[in-house]
Amino acid sequence: MLHLLFGTRLTSLFFRTLVYVTLFFAVLFSTAALAHPISLKADAPKRYEVKRGDSLWAIAIQFLDDPWMWPQLWQANKQVDDPNLLYPGDIIELLDGRARLRLQPRLRILTLQAPIPFMPLEQVNAFLNRDIMIERPIFEDGLYALRITGGRSLAVKGDQLEVLGKLSEGVTRYGIYRELDEVRDPLTRKHLGYITRALGSAVLLANTEGLPRLEITESFEEVRVGDRLLPFMDSPFREGFQPSVPEKPLHGTLLQGLANQQLISNHQAVMLNMGSDQLKPGTLLEILAPGRRLRNHSTGEVIFAAENRKGMVMVYRVFENISFALVMNSKEPMLPGDVFRQATMN
């Protein structure tokens, strides 16, 4: 049985005051109430104070055997208005194996205090917008970098570009791209689309005469004349979607790490050979080393090595045939060719 102790938040124009309310709400979690019982870690901290820079996922990893069950813990307690808002200074306590949340009474200035994010954005935002799947005609219709101001042949952060092409209505920020690489399924050889990696990003300057002009705000590589500019998509983690487990069984292949690394670990991005018809942002998947048939050299007997669970990823962007996912936790490095399935509690 899990007991949760909560405070009540009252909001005014300038301040948010937490009024401490002594309120216990007991809920018995069983397989009849939830798909799976919530399991606390044996070494979970007895007391934890939320700090600036924390994320909901990182805290959940400290307390739960299966951190993606964090939202279900809150959903079972109806007195919580928003289960996804924790603030620096909030305290989580364990008492005799029971979890309770204590929200200390304090005065919060809305302009200064913000809830902690679901994911540690500072660790993942650097690469989340670098790779996109796109069809060749759309890529070729993107803005064309015609000229680098100052007559230089290469541009970096702070330089300006003049571009040819039609601006996207309401868009002021663009990613800068150069090459398309075809992606095929390694087993079926089916064409899955084209991937392109951003060289940087640029923002549209106002009141420019003649051709549209953009200033490069970040550059991962030097930008050249002839590069393409496409509307920049903000981090999907700002949309606040929550992790979920697919209702139907899934089975697919991890194609590659998006940074082209061979060994893939925590907070790195991967490409999966399954698209928007089966996956959605927030979908949780397990990554496994594929099963193999092995031969005992002493006896000649053929044995089967079962799939080995390596860790978990969460889908953050979906395209027609491919999805991108973020490694949430890994017990050992993931590799291209590993397989995935819907997350389980095993």
Secondary structure (DSSP) of 265-303? -TT-EEEES--TTT--TTBEEEEEEPPEEEE-TTT--EE
Q: What are the residues facing 183 on neighbouring strands?
A: 193
The yes-or-no verdict on residue 290 having pLDDT over 90 is: no
Q: What structural domains does the chain harbor?
A: 2-118 (no CATH), 126-236 (no CATH), 241-342 (2.40.10.410)
Cα(281)–Cα(243) distance, rounded to whole angstroms?
8
Side chain identity, residue 283: T
Range in 30-34, 156-160, 173-177, 178-182 with the lowest mean pLDDT: 30-34
69 versus 61: the higher-pLDDT residue is 61
Tokens of 224: 């050249």
Kindly state the average pLDDT of the residues 122-151: 85
Query: What integer best gives the mean pLDDT of the chain?
Result: 76
24 — pLDDT class (breaks 50, 70, 90): very low
pLDDT of residue 232: 83
3-state secondary structure of 137: helix
| Residue pair 195/184 in contact by the 8 Å Cβ criterion | no
The yes-or-no verdict on residue 112 having pLDDT over 60 is: no
| Residue pair 279/300 in contact by the 8 Å Cβ criterion | no
Tokens of 115: 């809830």
The yes-or-no verdict on residue 176 having pLDDT over 90 is: yes
- H/E/C letters for each residue in 142-169? CEEEEEECCCCCEECCCCEEEEECCCCC
- Sign of the torsion formed by the C-alpha atoms of 269, 273, 275 and 281: negative
105 versus 85: the higher-pLDDT residue is 85
Give whole-number Cα distances, 199 to 65, 126, 155, 160, in Å.
39, 12, 11, 14
For the question of whether the overall pTM of this predicted structure is more than 0.85, the answer is no
149 versus 296: the higher-pLDDT residue is 149
| Residue pair 245/343 in contact by the 8 Å Cβ criterion | yes
- The per-residue pLDDT for range 232-278, each reduced to its tens digit, is 876 666 555 667 888 889 999 999 998 877 889 888 899 999 999 99
Kindly state the average pLDDT of the residues 214-221: 94
The yes-or-no verdict on residue 8 having pLDDT over 50 is: no
